[in-house]
Amino acid sequence: MSKSFIRVMLWALIISYSLCLLYWMFIGFGRVRHVGAPLSYNLIPLETIILYVRHHNEISTSTWLINLFGNVGVFVPFGLFIPVLRKCLRSYIRLAMLFVPCIIVLELSQMILRVGSLDVDDVILNLLGVWIGYFIINRFL
């Protein structure tokens, strides 16, 4: 297979995955728009993470796993593929400079549309996922 074919396939994969992620974040998993509900947000770093860790016995395992590990896992593919596709993004800092604003826009959108909340801990966990993906691929680049 040629390098250009592989690049096209990787772009198609990351674009398809991004569309699936948008679906999951705004429509999937039984999300309901809470019309008239107050805006939901957390701007205190690590507050939600600590809450889930401290009260893991009181929170369902699926909720705990999805909120902590799911927020990390769903962003790992971006750390794996984006640095391969864009050489200028082969740095933890450059990836953060790209993804932090994107994640914040997604979080703000969830809050404004009332299909979720803006949580700074989600930004932290999502970025951690990007960095884990980059760490993995960095070993092979």
Query: Do 84 and 141 meet the contact criterion of CB atoms below 8 Å apart?
Result: yes
Q: What is the pLDDT of residue 30?
A: 83
Q: What is the pLDDT of residue 66?
A: 87
Contact 103, 123 (CB under 8 A): yes
**Element (DSSP H or E) covering residue 25:** helix 3-26
Best CA proximity match to 92, nearest among 56, 128, 57 = 128
Backbone angles phi, psi at 94, to 5 degrees: -65, -40
The pLDDT of residue 32: 87
For residues 11 and 85, the answer to whether their CB atoms sit within 8 Å is yes
pLDDT at 21: 96
pLDDT in tens, the chain (141 residues): 899 999 999 999 999 999 999 999 999 888 888 889 999 999 999 999 999 999 989 999 888 888 899 999 999 999 999 999 999 999 999 999 999 999 999 999 999 999 999 999 999 999 999 999 999 999 987
Q: Say what the pLDDT of residue 29 is.
A: 81
